Structure 1
Amino acid sequence: MSSNINNILKRLFDRYASKWLVLLFDLCVVAFTFFIAYLIRFNFEIDFNFYTFLKQIPFVLTAAVISFIIVGSHKGVVRFTGVKDVINIIVGINILATILIITTFMSRKYDFDYVFDIPGSIIYIHLLLNVFFLIGAKFFIKSIYKSVMQDYEEETRVLIYGAGNSGLITYEALSNDAMSNIKVIGFIDDNESKVGKTINLLNVYHLSKLNKDFIAKNNIEEVIISIQNASSNRLLEITGKLFQLNLKVKIVPPVQNWIDGDLSLGQIKDIKIEDLLGREPINIHNPDLIEEYDGKVLLITGAAGSIGSELVRKLCDYNYKKLILVDNAESALYDLQQELIQKKAKNFEAVVADIRDSVRLDFIFNKYKPKIVFHAAAYKHVPLMEQNPYEALSVNVIGTDNTAKSSVKHGVEKFILISTDKAVNPTNVMGATKRVAEICICCKKETQGGNTKFIITRFGNVLGSNGSVIPLFKRQIESGGPITVTHKDVIRYFMTIPEASQLVLEAASMGLGGEIFVFDMGKPVKIFDLAVNMIALSGLKYPEDIDISISGLRPGEKIFEELLADGEKTKPTYHEKIMIAKCKTENINDQEIKINELCSLSPTTQNIEIVSKIKDLVPEYIPNNSMYDALNL
């Protein structure tokens, strides 16, 4: 029987009440409290002129309608009643009382109809009753709704990490959401002065209090981290402890990301690997970018790749003239095209083309006349390029040279090459070819640039990009493991795809030509630690559920990467996280001759000869644990 009643209530509560129905309900409450106010005033006896009372009711309700419409209290969804709704109701009630006081005063002064003459004591009693009954009724309905909904969803018991302002706002967001099945049972805080006290009748604990017995006793399932100024290193410590207790961890976003300054339940997300990089996220806001891309034709090579596609998404927010997406991966380019169509992106065109085809590339530049070129096309998989050096040469060097030449020929204003930290003191073919691409761009700037400004951006590994360790680790976890790590001490610099794309846009805006833009990426991350964190984020344990296998360094792989080559010095920019290094311009003519020789090599050329010529141009290239180690002699 009770189940049927709950089903009926659930179907009723699934629908939102009309705002006019809410207003009618509020008016009924106002009429009821007006009658109770009279009863209280006359000691709960009908010792007053009931006829006068009845004539005053329409006037009071008219005043209430005006008051509630002014503040819009009737527009609130009752099941989501929160602090702001309460304040709104109180303001509306006070407006009503003010109207009644003013009309009473005017009635007595100018001898109006007695209908407008309401005793002051009744007005004040009515005001207090309205506060109690209107607000109480809203929260009563909200509690009924929540109890009915919770019959269908299992309750999740959580702790909030952080008993400061952010933690309290998080608690309010969870408590005020009638759809939420989350029950907060306490707070965690590092501040000893708060530990042992209560907030909203909930205990504040220290992190050391959490152990398996405490978790089991209180049936805690997850912890929501709500600390606005926590460093990434501190986050790593906290999550490491929580993961060991087999707790699910969520995180509250930064205040600046809250919608209209308010935190909603939907914004509290599972903690991601980006949150555990061990450094602060890099946030850049540069209003000059709006003017930089305004009314211009923009062309992106490798547009369907990880960085290229994110660049496209960010550029869609600007008022460009046309956006040209160039890629030879037709399926990925088609997917990107459909995504942009779905988002109703404006003035873009997807072009299937290979940057190794100089004739095709020249035709595209001549047709669209781009003013800014983002060169993101590249082969970047280290083991594959180690085995196929001609392919690395053809895309990373010849393709870059073709794109740069077309840029100069067709009057491109800015050419931005997207490079990698593997180009610095390279130990593998991929990194060495990207270093050759950098040298090629520096040479173009000195000898053929004309009005074209050549700019290089250089950053570390990009989380979640095609071929990065994150998708690989995810697949290995999904298949039951083990996760393969080449060496326990391998460390890498990491950034997110949005961060990397933002750097490229900043470089295009700031660059005057001949610069290499690099990020201060903080401390590098151990790949082994990254694997352990990913296992924990998947709700599993290392090594019980998923083990980590050490496979040994791959050919050409380094223990650590660098962002600056020998002799490169940096200078600061307007943003503390962005630095600029200048292209080294020694022996330009000699370097150009060697680049031309490389570009003229045949696909049938022996691998060792190709790599030898690359090494001749990039003497700092030292093959490591590779079939080309003999070239080091």
Structure 2
Amino acid sequence: MITINKILNWYFNKKSLPYWCMLLLDALILFISGIFSFWLYRKTNLLIEDRFQVFYTMLVFTLFGCIGFRMFRTYSGIVRYSSFVDLSRVAYGNLLAMALSFGYTLLIHCRGFNDFAVFNKTEILLTFVIATVLMWAIRILVKNLYNIAITDKGAMRVLIFGALKGGVGLAKNINTERPKRFNLRGFISHDSRAHQIQLMGLNVYHISDDLEEIIKHEGIGGILVSPLRVKEFRDDTALQDRLIKAGCKIFMAESAKEMDEIEMTEDDIQRMQLREVQVEDLLPRQEIKVDMDSVGALLKGKTVLITGSAGSIGSQMVRQIAIYKPAKMVLIDQAETPEHDIRLMMAHDYPNVDAETIVTSICKADRMEQIFETYKPDYVFHAAAYKHVPMMENNPSEAVQNNIYGTKVIADLSVKYGVKKFVMVSTDKAVNPTNVMGCSKRICEIYVQSLNNSQAVTQFVTTRFGNVLGSNGSVIPLFREQIKNGGPVTVTDERIVRFFMLIPEACKLVLEAGTKGHGGEIFVFDMGKPVKIADLAKRMIALSGAKNVEIKFTGLRPGEKLYEEVLNELEGTKPSFHEKIRIAEVREYDYQEVNKEICELIDLSKQYDDMATVAKMKHIVPEYKSNNSVYEKLDGCAAEPQDER
């Protein structure tokens, strides 16, 4: 049996009507409206007697109508996509036609033309009111029928979080999507003013309502978060858990996790693309504002060298610096394929920036010297490092040779070739280190800080922060793969917590701290609230919709902490130029002594005696106490287990 829906689908799947058809329809509506108005006032017998005069008059009125339609292009839009703007054009077009008709009526009345009927003012006004209403009705009817026709049975029923701010723009966005993915059934709001009202003909629910029952009753499958309510939603983890447990998928705009929410308009929202969120989009964190214009002013026209340019942090710094058109960018990484990707990205996204992509190791002193001599960089951003704790715990000599010796090579060459500023990317694992990797980074910090105090050519600045979301080898991609494979999801300890920050935010802070620092500082970033890794795993499983995926606790890995710190017990901080950046007050070291100790460590590492190498590292950094590691014996006694903080 042919249903109404099938007929509507057949009709609306055809191409839109030609413009002249809509113009003809509007003209016909105006013509009939005039005859109806005349009949309403003069009755049938007079209409029959003056039928030719009425006919001629309405032809003239219709001509005036066509002039108005042409002036305001009332027929140019596609009827099924009609908006308030289209309805306004119809009104303006008819208003112009009515004005012309009044003038025409006055003219024929004065001249005494008998071939035309003389409409009074009320009849003319009524004609155009009826015509306008009918034209509006046709457009609204077609639009509603179209919405019914294209509402795919497979479209997900959704609620929008954020009613009074951004919700309407998002609703218009999803209603114009083709094919239609979402079927809007209402709104959710924190705002008490929105409680028990309707918006766009749909209910607005308050977060205090029984959302679980509403979701079940309405068959809701997803929640769309208004781009102007992202922070509010992200901070309300209790609401997130309620919605996720109710079986809802959560969708945000493509750029919601990085956008400047304050400057967005309703038009911006309507152009956005929605995607299902990842767990990193929902982690509670505060928006970080950085004065990138002042950073750009310092880097514009300069030669900038970046080590580790193909890594998570390095590649993001490449993108952020390239925006400000430095004179030249020298990009160094030993990973060939990722570095090739950076070369392609620069050629495609920043073709006007002179970029030299070089595949080599920072440990090759002669090659590094050639690069510095050739390009003479003004700024050096040093992000290259081995960073995986378990790998470096098993390969301490490589940690020394790459992290420490590589840093020494780049730092020494920076002084030799007159680099203005050297910015080193460090880690919170350098604080009270419990593993080889963290200790190697602390030794790097000590070296560049002592070198800063021993000369006046180059300013050395260190930035220290925790984990970045989405970095290569981070826990989130690992969990995602484990969930995809059906589990188990492996967490080392139920109590373990970590700080997280978005890569773009971390890099902006690095750039601001690096360019505004005066030399010798260790800048510490405010990482926000720590996240319990076990809770992170649970949320990722729930978001994925996977069933029967268990979490397996495997025990702390060698050198791993339950928690990370950004300061040790002897360090304090003082404020800086940015509320999210503090300056660590750390012990200062004599360069000659530090250089001697580090040279001895580097020489020792070439013997590949792990115990001897780590023992020397502990000598340089006395606060380095191994945890869950074979190197605990070097501390004189087994390390005491950490309490959760």
Per the TM alignment, residue 159 of structure 1 is displaced from its structure 2 partner at its CA by 2.1
In structure 2, how many angstroms separate the alpha carbons of the residues matched to 1:100 and 1:179?
44
In structure 2, how many angstroms separate the alpha carbons of the residues matched to 1:344 and 1:75?
39
2:411 to 404, 407, 414: 404
Q: 1:78 to 1:56 in 2, by over 3 A?
A: closer
- Please say if residues 375 and 416 of structure 1, whose CA atoms lie closer than 8 Å, have aligned partners that are also in contact: yes
> What residue number does 1:447 align with?
454
1:570 to 550, 568, 573: 573
The answer to whether 1:167 aligns with 2:167 is yes
The answer to whether 1:50 aligns with 2:50 is no
3-state SS of paired residue (1:339): helix
Aligned residue identity for 2:14: L
> What residue number does 1:64 align with?
69
3-state SS of paired residue (1:165): coil
3-state SS of paired residue (1:600): helix
**Comparing 405-414 and 480-489, the one that deviates more:** 405-414
Deviations 1:146-203 (A, max 9, x none): 344335x513211223443333443343335464242222333445665444444433
Per the TM alignment, residue 466 of structure 1 is displaced from its structure 2 partner at its CA by 0.8
Q: How does 1:328-343 map to 2 (within 5 A)?
A: 328-343=334-349
2:276 to 270, 276, 290: 270
Q: 1:206 to 1:231 in 2, by over 3 A?
A: closer
Aligned residue identity for 1:618: V
3-state SS of paired residue (2:166): helix
3-state SS of paired residue (2:236): helix
> What residue number does 1:500 align with?
506
The answer to whether 1:223 aligns with 2:223 is yes
> What residue number does 1:361 align with?
368
Aligned residue identity for 1:442: Q
5+ long unaligned stretches in structure 2: 637-645
Q: How does 1:298-447 map to 2 (within 5 A)?
A: 298-343=304-349, 345-346=351-352, 347-447=354-454
Task: Provide the aligned C-alpha RMSD in A.
Answer: 3.3
Larger radius of gyration: 2
In structure 1, how many angstroms separate the alpha carbons of the residues matched to 2:378 and 2:96?
60
In structure 2, how many angstroms separate the alpha carbons of the residues matched to 1:94 and 1:217?
47
- Please say if residues 165 and 229 of structure 2, whose CA atoms lie closer than 8 Å, have aligned partners that are also in contact: no
Per the TM alignment, residue 565 of structure 1 is displaced from its structure 2 partner at its CA by 3.0
> What residue number does 2:252 align with?
251
In structure 1, how many angstroms separate the alpha carbons of the residues matched to 2:583 and 2:91?
57
In structure 2, how many angstroms separate the alpha carbons of the residues matched to 1:586 and 1:446?
9
> What residue number does 2:141 align with?
140
Per the TM alignment, residue 6 of structure 1 is displaced from its structure 2 partner at its CA by 6.7
Per the TM alignment, residue 214 of structure 1 is displaced from its structure 2 partner at its CA by 4.8
In structure 1, how many angstroms separate the alpha carbons of the residues matched to 2:292 and 2:108?
63
In structure 2, how many angstroms separate the alpha carbons of the residues matched to 1:89 and 1:278?
48
Per the TM alignment, residue 536 of structure 1 is displaced from its structure 2 partner at its CA by 1.5
- Please say if residues 106 and 112 of structure 1, whose CA atoms lie closer than 8 Å, have aligned partners that are also in contact: no
In structure 1, how many angstroms separate the alpha carbons of the residues matched to 2:331 and 2:81?
45
Q: 1:106 to 1:52 in 2, by over 3 A?
A: closer
3-state SS of paired residue (2:568): coil
**Comparing 163-172 and 553-562, the one that deviates more:** 163-172
> What residue number does 2:202 align with?
202
- Please say if residues 81 and 176 of structure 1, whose CA atoms lie closer than 8 Å, have aligned partners that are also in contact: no
> What residue number does 1:480 align with?
486
Determine what percentage of the aligned residue pairs are the same residue. Answer: 38
> What residue number does 2:639 align with?
none
Deviations 1:337-394 (A, max 9, x none): 2233333533222111110001101111222222111111100000000010011111
What TM-score comes out, normalization by structure 2 length?
A: 0.86
> What residue number does 1:12 align with?
14
1:608 to 605, 608, 611: 611
In structure 1, how many angstroms separate the alpha carbons of the residues matched to 2:210 and 2:271?
25
- Please say if residues 104 and 118 of structure 1, whose CA atoms lie closer than 8 Å, have aligned partners that are also in contact: no
What TM-score comes out, normalization by structure 1 length?
A: 0.88
How many residues end up aligned between the 2 structures?
Answer: 617
> What residue number does 1:235 align with?
236
In structure 1, how many angstroms separate the alpha carbons of the residues matched to 2:85 and 2:453?
62
Per the TM alignment, residue 485 of structure 1 is displaced from its structure 2 partner at its CA by 0.6
In structure 1, how many angstroms separate the alpha carbons of the residues matched to 2:549 and 2:487?
5
3-state SS of paired residue (1:304): coil
5+ long unaligned stretches in structure 1: none
